[in-house]
Structure 1
Amino acid sequence: MNKVCVIIGVGPGNGEALARRFSEGGFQVAMLARSRDYLESLVQQIPNTHAYEYDATEIDSVDSTFQAIEQKLGPVSVLLYNAGAGVFKNVEEASFDDFEANWRTNVQGLVAATKAVLPQLRQHDTASIVVTSASAATRGRANSAPFASAKAAQRSLAQSMARQLGPERIHVASVVIDGVVDLPRTREWLHDKPDDFFVKPSAVADAIWTLCHQDPSAWTFELDVRPFGEIW
């Protein structure tokens, strides 16, 4: 049986790094994102990767997408939920639509993907669901009301899932990224910062790979990762 990993939310940065890490580890990797052209460019670069156009907020397509993945690659054993929208406003400035948009991506999208993938995960002796989170999940800053509230809800959801699914040997974990991810746009924005200021996507991918291969006697639920210089 193939080892199959699904990554929801593949873009430059953590999503692409995860695709590379799990491909190197021998997985068939289904990459899901809204930009089909970008995914197809990665397929040309990364062996054993497969492109699926997908919007985490459009839940009507989730079942058909996961069925197509299973038919082509086999049952999924790892789900990496890397989708995460952010609106950074305070509670007065943010509209109801801002709050709903953040909730749809960070919470509803995770629920829909989990419901669709569970029958496949249960076909394996052990399986994993790992959610890419943020420090906003544990502390709500003044100008992050929509994002922080959605990430806090996502964290609580993941914890509930971990408690439910752990006895089935399905490891649910949340990775809190506390820092600025190294991307072309963040480098341009923070051009005066040294290399060690940024979170390396490849290092995040290594951490998530490790989570997915922990012994069930010592599972981690929440792992926070940050550069040594980050204030916390």
Structure 2
Amino acid sequence: MNKVCVVMGVGPGNGEAFVRRFSDEGFQVAMVARSQDFLKKLEESVAGAHAFPCDMMESEQITTVFAAIESQLGPVSVVLYNAGGGVFKNVEEASLEDFESNWRINVQGLVAATKAALPQLRQHDTASIIITSASAATRGRANTAPFASAKAAQRSLAQSLARQLGPEKIHVATVVIDGVVDLPRTRQMLSDKPDDFFVKPSAVADAVWTLCQQDPSGWTFELDIRPFGETW
């Protein structure tokens, strides 16, 4: 049986790093995102990477794409839920639509992905669902009302999934990224910051790979990742 990993939310940064790391480990990697052009470029440059365009805001598309992945690559054993949008406003500035869109990408999308993936994950002796989270999941700052509330809901959902699926040897974990991810746009915005200020996507990918290798007797549920200089 092929080793198949699904990365949901693939863009420059963590998503691309996940694709490259799991490809290096011999996985067929299904790349799920809206940006078809970016996926096609990665597909051409990464062995075993396959583009599956999908809007994670649309649950029916998620169901359809998981069926296509199983048909083309085989049943998935790893789901990396890296999709997540953020609206950074306080409760007075944010619209109800801002709150809803944050919930749909961070919570509804994860629910739809889990429902679609479970029949495939259960075909393996062990499997993993790893969710990219943020420090906003545990603390709501004044100007993060839509994002923080959605990430907190996602964290509680992940806890529920971990408790339900753990006995089936399906490892559910969240990775809290507390820092600024090293991207061209963040480098440009924070051009005065040194290299060690930024979170390196390759380091995040290494940590996620390690989570997927843990023995069920010593699983991690929540892993914090931050540069040494980050205030926390």
Q: TM-score, normalised by structure 1?
A: 0.99
Match in the other structure for 1:145: 145
Match in the other structure for 2:47: 47
How far did 1:97 drift? 0.2
Q: Per-residue displacement from partner, 1:63-114 (whole Å, max 9, x unpaired)? A: 2211110011100000000000000000110000000000000000000000
Q: Per-residue displacement from partner, 1:111-164 (whole Å, max 9, x unpaired)? A: 000000000000000000000000000110100000000000000000000000
Match in the other structure for 2:133: 133
Unaligned runs of 5+ in 1: none
Match in the other structure for 2:179: 179
Match in the other structure for 2:13: 13
Does the residue aligned with 2:142 lie in a helix, a strand or coil?
coil
Match in the other structure for 1:166: 166
How far did 1:204 drift? 0.2
Match in the other structure for 2:97: 97
Distance in 2 (CA, whole Å) between partners of 1:55 and 1:179 is: 26
Match in the other structure for 2:203: 203
Does the residue aligned with 1:26 lie in a helix, a strand or coil?
coil
Distance in 2 (CA, whole Å) between partners of 1:169 and 1:29 is: 21
Unaligned runs of 5+ in 2: none
Distance in 2 (CA, whole Å) between partners of 1:184 and 1:61 is: 30
How far did 1:62 drift? 1.7
Match in the other structure for 1:35: 35
Write the letter of the residue equivalent to 1:76. Answer: V
- How many correspondences in the alignment? 232
Match in the other structure for 1:82: 82
Distance in 1 (CA, whole Å) between partners of 2:119 and 2:70 is: 11
Does the residue aligned with 1:144 lie in a helix, a strand or coil?
helix
Match in the other structure for 1:57: 57
Does the residue aligned with 1:21 lie in a helix, a strand or coil?
helix
Write the letter of the residue equivalent to 1:33. Answer: A
Distance in 2 (CA, whole Å) between partners of 1:16 and 1:47 is: 13
Distance in 1 (CA, whole Å) between partners of 2:173 and 2:142 is: 27
Q: Per-residue displacement from partner, 1:34-61 (whole Å, max 9, x unpaired)? A: 0111100001111000001011101111
Runs of 4+ in structure 1 off by over 4 angstroms are none
Write the letter of the residue equivalent to 2:146. Answer: P
* Counterpart mapping for 1:189-200 below 5 A: 189-200=189-200
Does the residue aligned with 2:47 lie in a helix, a strand or coil?
coil
Distance in 1 (CA, whole Å) between partners of 2:94 and 2:174 is: 26
